[in-house]
A and B are shown apart, each in its own frame.
Chain A
């Protein structure tokens, strides 16, 4: 049974690249997530923010995609932050320790204006 297809929109907020994620982050999200990141860093922002507010499912392959994105950003010396995660996925980000390397924020403004990752 197909779930909500993955999609991603990219915009800029105070010189920060924001990626609005939609649907399910699973194997099918690979290409689109990669392309969205490319667009988000086109203007070479120092920070990329991932908006998970419209994401309803992330499986282990999706976690792997996020790890891959984070690895690439770190290699390019960019900071990655996130907001809009449900309590369940906040817990998963904590268990997987993704939140040790990616600041998790309650909303977009906090994520964009944060100076120190929490």
Chain B
């Protein structure tokens, strides 16, 4: 079906100008333009004009056409179709002659000649405009992809957990048109670990933004609520109001107790994880609706105990639902089967990706993001952890009463505990200052200076870092954002001179993290044992 190009329709939409009655007679003749006439692509007039060989007299035309009526009402007398290579690309519409005479044969010949020359030129102009629009659209899409990728990468964990007796591996492979996959590891109180794999429907920036929101809510709620079903219920309720239409998030959330191997999990419509066990492959099934669809959803919570040698695979649908050129699906049974064959998580991920590559073929573009996360409980008698920092060992654990000044006690005991680690003088001083400030904060703000409430301090170290955890009884008290104090405002008397504690802590240590549960609030200070080559002097 021939369509009327939009630029032609724009010409037709111009408003007519009306000559004022007071205009002098000698004024130059005014151009009179036709009011807009919409011509639907399926109007029979389009087919008629496409086949016309020259100027068409509108008055004499017999067609059941709304557009024809429109042209007549607009005062059009003669239409000269602009046809290029058999395609109707425009119309030259003329009203009555100013002399009020009919269009002569010479007029029509002149107009037909004009149309014959104008049509190819108009077509070229249209093609150039279309190409320019395509380039702009392509640039916009590429820019959007870059933004989506940036958002996505921002929220992926920088490192894998380092837990004695456990091995973690992860792979994230974004599709060119970035989707909304994400995964995360969340430190929880009492040494537990939250593990998340999720997938936002849709692609590009909208999906990346929903992913970022979901990620942030999970990070905030997981340490407070702990129970996977409660966490998903809470996240769902917070997301429902924010979720754009037609979007939702599938998410598997599990909490691992590394001491016992207990894995509690809940599932918001995400792929079922597989577990490779001595007795074969099992599934971690739990029911629940995706996040962000309906409020007040409840999520089934299940529990499994991972035995030494077991490996769990969490996976997004970019793997199992990948297609080859024959439109066959890689499939969940194949993923389950491969899970059972691998000796550990890294081997499993490598194997899955290789099998996928062989299955889809070399030149097939990846359809969707692929996220794979494994956690494996090391077999009894297996090799020790090969994580960067090695095994964590405890150097001290003590309590101080919540009385002003007792931070000095904490400073001294921490200094004594780390004495053999080889921290150089400046790093030790920075750690001491951070410990003092964090302990003061716990005494004053967490425990309200109540001596009967202790502040617990533990010091652990591995081969690369020393970490001091300071826990008060402040429960859900969230640590405020660390802001750079405005010294000018303080010196001008516009702000209180106080408010330096958190800022100092953050500037003293290499990493500052906090976790909260219903009863406790822990601030975790980590200092590298050696200064990184590019760190502060």
Q: Which residues of A contact B (CB under 8 A)?
A: 1-3, 24, 26-28, 57, 59-61, 63-65, 67-68, 70-71, 74-75, 86-88, 91-92, 95-98, 100-101
Tell me, yes or no, whether B40 is within 8 Å of chain A by CB.
Answer: no
Which of A28, A64, A70 has a CB less than 8 Å from the CB of B498?
A: A64
From residue B388, how far is it (CB to closest CB) to chain A in Å?
28
Known: A1-B408, A65-B497, A70-B491. A88 touches B429 (CB 8 A): yes
Whether the pair A60, B440 counts as a contact (CB closer than 8 A) is yes
Find the A residue at minimum CB distance from B536: A91
Complexed CA–CA distance, A97 and B408 (Å) = 25
Contacts of B496 in A (CB 8 A): 64
Find the B residue at minimum CB distance from A91: B426
Which of B412, B487, B498 has a CB less than 8 Å from the CB of A98?
A: B487
Known: A1-B409, A92-B504. A71 touches B437 (CB 8 A): no
Complexed CA–CA distance, A98 and B407 (Å) = 24
Interface residues of B in 475-503 (CB under 8 A from A): 485, 487, 490-493, 496-501, 503
From residue B384, how far is it (CB to closest CB) to chain A in Å?
37
* Residue interface bits B150-170, CB-to-A below 8 A is 1, else 0: 000000000000000000000
Nearest first, the 8 closest Cβ-Cβ pairs linking A and B are A67-B497, A88-B429, A60-B500, A60-B501, A64-B497, A1-B409, A64-B498, A68-B497
Find the A residue at minimum CB distance from B406: A1
From residue B108, how far is it (CB to closest CB) to chain A in Å?
85
Find the B residue at minimum CB distance from A67: B497
Which of A64, A68, A75, A88 has a CB less than 8 Å from the CB of B433?
A: A88
Whether the pair B499, A64 counts as a contact (CB closer than 8 A) is yes
Whether the pair B498, A71 counts as a contact (CB closer than 8 A) is no
From residue A97, how far is it (CB to closest CB) to chain B in Å?
5
Contacts of A88 in B (CB 8 A): 426, 429-430, 433
Which of B407, B409, B433, B497 has a CB less than 8 Å from the CB of A92?
A: B433
Whether the pair B437, A59 counts as a contact (CB closer than 8 A) is yes
16 contacts between A and B (CB under 8 A): A1-B409, A24-B408, A26-B405, A59-B407, A59-B437, A60-B440, A60-B501, A61-B498, A64-B498, A64-B500, A70-B491, A71-B492, A88-B426, A88-B429, A95-B504, A96-B485
Kindly count the residue-residue contacts between A and B in the assembled complex, taking CB atoms under 8 Å apart. 71
Which of B406, B426, B491, B503 has a CB less than 8 Å from the CB of A74?
A: B491
Range of interface residues on B (Cβ < 8 Å): 20 to 34
Whether the pair A63, B487 counts as a contact (CB closer than 8 A) is no
Whether the pair A96, B487 counts as a contact (CB closer than 8 A) is yes
Whether the pair A27, B497 counts as a contact (CB closer than 8 A) is no
Contacts of B491 in A (CB 8 A): 67, 70-71, 74, 101
Contacts of A59 in B (CB 8 A): 407, 433, 436-437, 440
From residue A103, how far is it (CB to closest CB) to chain B in Å?
15
Find the A residue at minimum CB distance from B404: A27
Complexed CA–CA distance, A90 and B79 (Å) = 87
Whether the pair A57, B408 counts as a contact (CB closer than 8 A) is yes
From residue B492, how far is it (CB to closest CB) to chain A in Å?
7
From residue B535, how far is it (CB to closest CB) to chain A in Å?
13
Tell me, yes or no, whether B507 is within 8 Å of chain A by CB.
Answer: yes
Interface centre among A2, A74, A92 (most CB of B within 10 A): A92
Whether the pair B490, A71 counts as a contact (CB closer than 8 A) is yes
Whether the pair B408, A96 counts as a contact (CB closer than 8 A) is no
Contacts of B507 in A (CB 8 A): 95
Contacts of B498 in A (CB 8 A): 60-61, 64
Whether the pair A97, B409 counts as a contact (CB closer than 8 A) is no
Whether the pair B504, A63 counts as a contact (CB closer than 8 A) is yes
Contacts of A67 in B (CB 8 A): 487, 490-491, 497
Contacts of B500 in A (CB 8 A): 60, 63-64, 96
From residue A99, how far is it (CB to closest CB) to chain B in Å?
11
Complexed CA–CA distance, A75 and B497 (Å) = 14
Complexed CA–CA distance, A97 and B430 (Å) = 17
Which of A60, A95, A101 has a CB less than 8 Å from the CB of B437?
A: A60
Complexed CA–CA distance, A88 and B436 (Å) = 14
Complexed CA–CA distance, A91 and B507 (Å) = 10
Which of B408, B433, B499 has a CB less than 8 Å from the CB of A3?
A: B408
Contacts of A87 in B (CB 8 A): 426
* Residue interface bits B406-426, CB-to-A below 8 A is 1, else 0: 111100100000000000001
Apart from A88-B433, A95-B507, list 14 A-B contacts with CB within 8 A: A1-B406, A59-B407, A60-B440, A60-B498, A64-B500, A67-B490, A71-B491, A87-B426, A88-B430, A91-B430, A92-B504, A95-B504, A96-B487, A96-B503
Contacts of A92 in B (CB 8 A): 433, 504
From residue A28, how far is it (CB to closest CB) to chain B in Å?
8
Complexed CA–CA distance, A88 and B536 (Å) = 13
Whether the pair A75, B405 counts as a contact (CB closer than 8 A) is no
Contacts of A60 in B (CB 8 A): 437, 440, 498, 500-501, 504
Complexed CA–CA distance, A95 and B536 (Å) = 12
Contacts of B501 in A (CB 8 A): 60
Contacts of B492 in A (CB 8 A): 71
Contacts of B485 in A (CB 8 A): 96
From residue B486, how far is it (CB to closest CB) to chain A in Å?
10
Interface centre among A2, A70, A88 (most CB of B within 10 A): A88
Whether the pair A1, B504 counts as a contact (CB closer than 8 A) is no
Whether the pair A1, B412 counts as a contact (CB closer than 8 A) is yes
